Every structure is written in structure tokens, then in C-alpha cells.
Structure 1
Amino acid sequence: MARFLKNREESKGQSPGALIFIGEKKTTSVQARVIDYDSTILTEQELSHIKDGSHFKQTNTVTWLNINGLHDIEKIKEVGQIFDLHPLVMEDILNTGQRPKVEDFNAYIFIVLKMIRFDTETEMIFNEQLSIVLGDNFLVTFQEQPGDVFEPVRKRIRRQKSRIRGSGTDYLAYSLLDTVVDNYIHIIEVIGEKIEDLEEMILEGNDTTVMEKINAFKREINYLRKSIRPAREAILHLSRLDSDLFQESTIPFLKDLQDLINQATEAIDTYRDLLTDQLNIYNSVMANKMNDIMKVLTIFAAIFIPLTFIAGIYGTNFEYLPELHYKYSYAVFWTALIVIAGALLVFFKRKRWL
């Protein structure tokens, strides 16, 4: 399956809001987990059936429902019915190739981002879609597969005296977004170190795989850029929303989040430009090495041109060549060749061509 675009063959010609899963099935079954809390109580529960968590919506506590797996359309549809989600929202949740964005539906805010991870063995970036529905007292997250970057947030929720336990769903949403963006920056730093290490390899000019590595990192940086630049627009939009779902005390945190995503975007652009510069340096180094080789070959050719000329004259088939009958002609011939070659070497050395 293509990395930059998802195959939308099945959705062609369908009406808006049609529920069709677009993407790759990454887990065998849909898993649901709920965390319900306030400043005094905390409940964590794995749900065997989605409907088992419907009663949490009626409580005054903060409810975080996390769904792993999007391929089971009926179960995702059941979540949408419980939380009264718009059909277009459901369609976007099931489309794992959705562009990062933020939409305000008054009763809730719909957020789409990409969670990314870096495989150190293949040195490739992989992403999965994260959809967040933020309501007044509930927050629902949809992921393509189990395993995420949210464990630090869960640990903070389990600590009774943490800020998150005394805050609402808006601060929980901020915490999840902050964790995603922090992960962006971490992965950019990891890739950045590898990109910077390429410069020494380029200048040495001994590694024949440098060009391949530069092109590979350019591809991964572009893939990363495709996920993070739209996320920057989405977070900027979120920080400017005039919504009652965000308390005044949470707005400064969103502004800080905006600074972090700007930092991530600028770092990507910096490393993208650096890779372009490294490619130019590599081409210059290779061109200089080729020029050095050609210079040596040219010098040898220049030395042998007069030697070949002299050898050619005395290699002719004329019957009368006076020098042929001279007793020391052979020694004189070699002396002349050596003197001419030596004189040319000295000349090239003084010109600093050697």
C-alpha cells in the first residue's frame, strides 16, 4: 500500500458520510478501554462490548474512551451512536488517510492527527491516524492499533495529586496532543542526528552508500513533513477556537503547544535543506575526486606524448637513419626519454599540478 496516499478505490462514488474503512487492518479485533476519573476517584476498565461504557457519558467525571482498531465498522458505528457523532465525522475516522485537521461541531470538537514512530532497523517512519472527539465530559480517541505514546499521560492520571486529575476533558485533550507533538520532536532529533552524521561520511568520500542514505532520509523527511505541517495548521486552528469546551485556564497551554509544533516544523525544514546541501556537497566531492583522477591521467598522457613521438620516429622503416649505426645510440635514446620525462615532471611540480 502506498505510504503517501491511501487506496480509496472502495469509496469512489459513495455518498458523503458512507462508512467505509480505508487503510490497512493492523489488529485482529477492536479493543476498547475506558478511564474515568475526577480529583478523588479513578476507574480503569477494559470493555468487552462498546455499549458497556455508555453509562460513563452520563456521569460528571472525566471519561476517556480509547478505541484500538478501526476495521470493524459496526463497532465504530456503535461508538458514534453512543456519542451522537456526525456521519461525516465517522467517515473521517474510518479514513486513515485523512489529513490532520480540527472541526468544531459545537457539542464536541473533532481532531485528526498522525502519530508517528521511527524504526531504527529499517530507518523508516511509520504513522497511524489518531482521531480525537472532545466533548464536555468525555473524550474518545480512535487508533489503528494497540500501542501508543500516551502511557505517560495514563501515569499522570493515576497520580491523584496531578494537575490532570483536577482538570477537565479540555486539559486531557491538551495532554494527549502535547505528548504526540513531543514525540514528533523526539523523532526529528533522532533522524537529525543521523543526518548530521552523514556530513563526515560525505567529506571522507569512502562510503559508496552515502548517496543512497541521503535519498532515503530525504524520502523520510518528506513523509514526516506530510504529517507534521498539516498538524501545525490544525493546532493553530484549535488554539484560536472560540469554544466553551476549552476553559480559559487551558488556553495558555494550547499557545505553548503551538510553539512546540512550530519548532518541529522549522526543524523539519532545516534538515530538509541540510540534506539538499549534503547532496550538493557529495556531488562536489565526487566531481573533485574525478577531476583529480583525470588530472593524473592527463599528466601521464602529457609526459608520454613526446616520448611516443620520439619512439615513433625511430620505429619507422626507413633504410637510412644515421643514428641507428651510432655505437651509443640506444643509450642516448633512453637518456633523452628519461631527461624529457623528468623535465616535464619538474615543470608540472612547479606549476603545482602534482
Structure 2
Amino acid sequence: MAVKQLRALRPAPAPALPPPTPRVQTIIHGDLEWIDIQHPTLAEMNELRQRFGFHPLNLEDCLSKVQRPKIDSYPEQGYLFVVLHFPRFNKRTRHSEPAEVDLFVGRGYLITVHDGQLKPLAQLLHAAQTDEALRARLMGRGSGYLLYRVIDRLVDYIFPILGKVDEHIEYIENGIFDRNTRDLVQHLSLVRRDIIALRRIIKPNIPVLRLLTAREWPFLRVDEDIYFGDILDHLDKQWDMLEDAKDIIEGLNSTLDSLTSHRINEVMKILTIISVILLPMTLLASVYGMNVDLPLDEHPAAFSVVVCLMLGAALGMLFFFRIKKWI
């Protein structure tokens, strides 16, 4: 029995952890190769330079943490280098932060370089590895179409983020006339900061996609105006949504400031009325509290007379305030 009890008390074996995602993944379909690199190193960038002949400044940009969205074309070498930023919500700071993705695209290859924080890109990569039919749809029409599908997935992922912003704005609208506005002010400030961050992330992508749409790139083998124009329409729509959210949140902020100022004025008015009413009463009490000869000092009803004078002064002040419509 003791042995059985000891066996029963043994902890269950820990579940096997999933294998870590490799930093460098390669997917090949036909004559198209998709290379995905997470957290790039100098050695990996040197390998790309030796194999594809990329410009050293582009490889240096991949290692740098601070880059603005841009597009560099190298028609002689036959490739494009594209830098784009997409929002990633930070639950700790409660606002969106930029996540960069660098893309090399040429005839027969697409290379994505990023820090692994973009979930839609990781999901698309995993689906392309495991689903043969999806891999054929993604990679069966050349590198230009694959570039379109990658950017389109990342851009579409912004819509749920903007939907969360709209939900927060609706919450603020519903609670703006509540008496307890301390939490609401903090919530409004966080949403306002998130909108500013999203505007800073999304806006620089628009001229990059506009340039990608305006020109024809022979090695992409796609109709740029149709495919990348569709992505540009999505970005323009997202920018319009942010503009509307910005206008609404500024209006709510002004409304909240006006309500807060009005409530403070109401409190100050009440405190001022109380102080003015108590002022003559305090004056009479102070005068008759002095150790000097005063009228009615020896009269047996002196206390009652003084109290009546105090009440009369208070009622007189209240009547005066009522006539002035201050209360």
C-alpha cells in the first residue's frame, strides 16, 4: 500500500514543449524561394550579400533597429528593397509600437527580415509550410504576387487593431457623463496616445505603397496598379479611420474638460455660498465673544437675540442669492 501511495503522489510528467521556431526558414515552390529571417545577424547578412549581391547599405538597414519605411530600387541587380512598419500592441504599456519588416524581392525569390513579433507574417509562413494547396496559391504566381500577399496580410491585420480603438472610444462616449471621471480621463489619455502612435506608424507606409503602385517592375510579373493599389486603398481607409478617431477623441477630450471645469465651478460655487453665509454669523459670534461691554450684554435673552440675528443674516443672504439666481 505504501508503494502504491508513493506512486500516486508522484508528479505527472511535464508536457513536451513545442520545438522553438528556427530563426531562418526557407520555403521552395517551383522556381520561387521564400527565405524568412528572424533577428538577423551579421553572418546571415554576409551570406545574403554573397549569394544575391545585395547592396551593403540595405543589409546594414536590416541590422539597424531604427529605420523609416522606404523603397530602394536596383534595376541593374534586379531587386527591390522595401522597409515597412506595422503596429504591434504592447499590453504592458497599453499602446501600439512599430514592428519593422524588411523585404528583398527579385525574380525567383522573396526574403523577409523581421524580429518575429508580427503574428500575421508568422501565421502565413507556417500555413505556407504545412498547407501544400495554400503554398501553391501563394507562390505559384511569382515573387511579385507573394510580396503582395505578405504585405496584404500585414495591412489587413491593422483593421482589428483599429476596431479595438473604436471600442475604447465608444466606452468613453458612454461614460463621459458619469460623475466618476478619474478612470475615464486615464482611459482617454491612453487611447489618445495609441491613436498618435498608430498615425505615426501607418502614415509613412502610404508613400512607399504609392511608389510601388505607380511604377512597373518587370521582375515582379504582376499588375502593380491592381494588386498593390488594393493594398494602398486599405491603407488610405485605415488612415481615414484614424483621422476620424483623432477628431472624435479630441472632441471627447474637449467635452470632458468642459464637464470637469463645470463640475469644479459648481463645487466652488457651493463652497463660496457656504462661506458667505457663515461670514456674518462668524462675525456676530466673534463680536459677542469679546470681553467688552456690548448692547444687550446683561439682558437675560441676549443669547436668543444673537442667535436670531445670525439666522436672520443667513436667511437674508440666501434670499439675496435666490433673487440673483445664483442658487
Q: Normalization by structure 2: what TM-score? A: 0.81
1:190 aligns with 2:155: no
- Partner in structure 2 of residue 135 of structure 1: 106
5 Å matches for 1:228-307? 228-307=202-281
What displacement does 1:218 show? 3.4
CA deviations on 1:198-231 (whole Å, 9 max, x unpaired) are 3444432424344444444333333332221111
- Greater shift, 151-160 or 323-332, is seen at 151-160
CA deviations on 1:45-69 (whole Å, 9 max, x unpaired) are xxxxxxxxxxxxxxxx222111112
- Greater shift, 239-248 or 194-203, is seen at 194-203
- Greater shift, 171-180 or 190-199, is seen at 190-199
Which amino acid letter does the alignment assign opposite residue 127 of structure 2? K
| Separation in structure 2 between the aligned mates of residue 124 and residue 296 of structure 1, nearest angstrom | 40
What displacement does 1:165 show? 4.9
- Partner in structure 1 of residue 38 of structure 2: 68
Flag the 1:316–1:173 CA change in 2: closer, same or farther, 3 A. Answer: same
Describe the SS at the equivalent of 2:53.
coil
What displacement does 1:79 show? 1.6
| Separation in structure 2 between the aligned mates of residue 242 and residue 192 of structure 1, nearest angstrom | 37
Which amino acid letter does the alignment assign opposite residue 82 of structure 2? I
Describe the SS at the equivalent of 2:297.
helix
Describe the SS at the equivalent of 1:160.
helix
CA RMSD of aligned residues (A): 2.8
What displacement does 1:281 show? 3.0
- Partner in structure 1 of residue 298 of structure 2: 325
| Separation in structure 2 between the aligned mates of residue 66 and residue 264 of structure 1, nearest angstrom | 27
| Separation in structure 2 between the aligned mates of residue 146 and residue 272 of structure 1, nearest angstrom | 26
- Partner in structure 2 of residue 24 of structure 1: none
Describe the SS at the equivalent of 1:204.
coil
What displacement does 1:240 show? 0.8
Q: Percent identity?
A: 25
1:104 aligns with 2:105: no
Describe the SS at the equivalent of 2:120.
coil
| Separation in structure 2 between the aligned mates of residue 265 and residue 147 of structure 1, nearest angstrom | 20
Q: Is the CA contact 1:92–1:98 (under 8 Å) kept in the aligned structure 2?
A: yes
5 Å matches for 1:315-354? 315-319=289-293, 321-349=294-322, 351-354=324-327
Q: Is the CA contact 2:212–2:224 (under 8 Å) kept in the aligned structure 1?
A: no
Flag the 1:284–1:295 CA change in 2: closer, same or farther, 3 A. Answer: same
- Partner in structure 1 of residue 13 of structure 2: none
- Partner in structure 1 of residue 9 of structure 2: none
| Separation in structure 1 between the aligned mates of residue 307 and residue 297 of structure 2, nearest angstrom | 14
Q: Is the CA contact 1:29–1:69 (under 8 Å) kept in the aligned structure 2?
A: no
- Partner in structure 1 of residue 191 of structure 2: 217
| Separation in structure 2 between the aligned mates of residue 277 and residue 205 of structure 1, nearest angstrom | 19
Q: Is the CA contact 1:205–1:285 (under 8 Å) kept in the aligned structure 2?
A: no
What displacement does 1:156 show? 6.6
Describe the SS at the equivalent of 1:245.
coil
CA deviations on 1:87-130 (whole Å, 9 max, x unpaired) are 12112222221111112111011111123321345423233321
| Separation in structure 2 between the aligned mates of residue 278 and residue 342 of structure 1, nearest angstrom | 41
CA deviations on 1:123-181 (whole Å, 9 max, x unpaired) are 23233321111111111111123763122475378353775354221111011111111
| Separation in structure 2 between the aligned mates of residue 271 and residue 176 of structure 1, nearest angstrom | 27
| Separation in structure 2 between the aligned mates of residue 127 and residue 343 of structure 1, nearest angstrom | 66
1:34 aligns with 2:26: yes
Which amino acid letter does the alignment assign opposite residue 178 of structure 2? E
Aligned match for 1:115, one of 73, 83, 86: 86
| Separation in structure 2 between the aligned mates of residue 66 and residue 286 of structure 1, nearest angstrom | 52
What displacement does 1:351 show? 4.4
Which amino acid letter does the alignment assign opposite residue 262 of structure 1? D
What displacement does 1:276 show? 3.3
Q: Is the CA contact 1:153–1:176 (under 8 Å) kept in the aligned structure 2?
A: no
- Greater shift, 29-38 or 226-235, is seen at 29-38
| Separation in structure 2 between the aligned mates of residue 146 and residue 33 of structure 1, nearest angstrom | 16
What displacement does 1:317 show? 4.1
Flag the 1:144–1:227 CA change in 2: closer, same or farther, 3 A. Answer: same
| Separation in structure 1 between the aligned mates of residue 215 and residue 98 of structure 2, nearest angstrom | 27
Q: Normalization by structure 1: what TM-score? A: 0.75
Q: For structure 2, which runs of at least 5 residues remain unmatched after alignment?
A: 1-19
Q: Is the CA contact 2:29–2:140 (under 8 Å) kept in the aligned structure 1?
A: no
Describe the SS at the equivalent of 2:240.
helix
Aligned match for 1:77, one of 36, 46, 49: 46
Q: Is the CA contact 1:119–1:125 (under 8 Å) kept in the aligned structure 2?
A: yes
Q: Is the CA contact 1:137–1:169 (under 8 Å) kept in the aligned structure 2?
A: yes
